[in-house]
Amino acid sequence: VAVAREPPSGPWPNWEAARLEEPLHKALKRGNVRKRQQRQQQQQEQEQQEENRRSTADEGERYRGLAREALRPRVGFLTSGCFSGREGFGVGCGAVQVSAFMRLLQEQRQ
């Protein structure tokens, strides 16, 4: 069987009529795509900054609440402190309020 190497004869399709007519996609041009990406990035950064502001405000409120509700009453303050390798725990020098310290000692004895 011989295979014809020439295209078959007959009416050729009208390629111009078969071509789709589409409007220009200006939104997909490179410059417009870059601008859109930059706007999206700026919006994300603004949202992130607002979220950071809200979270830092919440943390501040939380820490203020902790300051009001301390785990232990304040009896004094340290002037210096460090970890002692010899003692195996932290040591420090400071001042203690006698009345608050005596109250704590009495509570521990009970």
- The whole-number average pLDDT for the span 19-26 is 72
Q: Residues 44-71: what's their mean pLDDT?
A: 73
Q: Which residue has the tokens 């943390």?
A: 59
Instruction: Tell me what pLDDT residue 44 has.
Output: 94
The structure's pTM equals: 0.33
Of 84, 78, 73, whose CA–CA distance to 107 is shortest? 73
**Comparing C-alpha atoms, which of 54, 75, 57 is closest to residue 65?**
57
Query: Over the stretch 95-107, which tens digit does the pLDDT of each residue have?
Result: 888 888 888 888 8
pLDDT class of 2 with cuts at 50, 70, 90 = low
Backbone dihedral angles phi then psi of residue 63, each to the nearest 5 degrees: -70, -35
| CA dist 12 → 3, 5, 20, 21 (Å) | 20, 17, 18, 20
User: With 70 as the cut, is the pLDDT of residue 93 above it?
Assistant: yes
Which positions ≥6 away from 75 have C-beta within 8 Å? Answer: 96, 97, 100, 101, 104
11 has pLDDT over 80: no
Residue 36 has pLDDT above 70, yes or no: yes
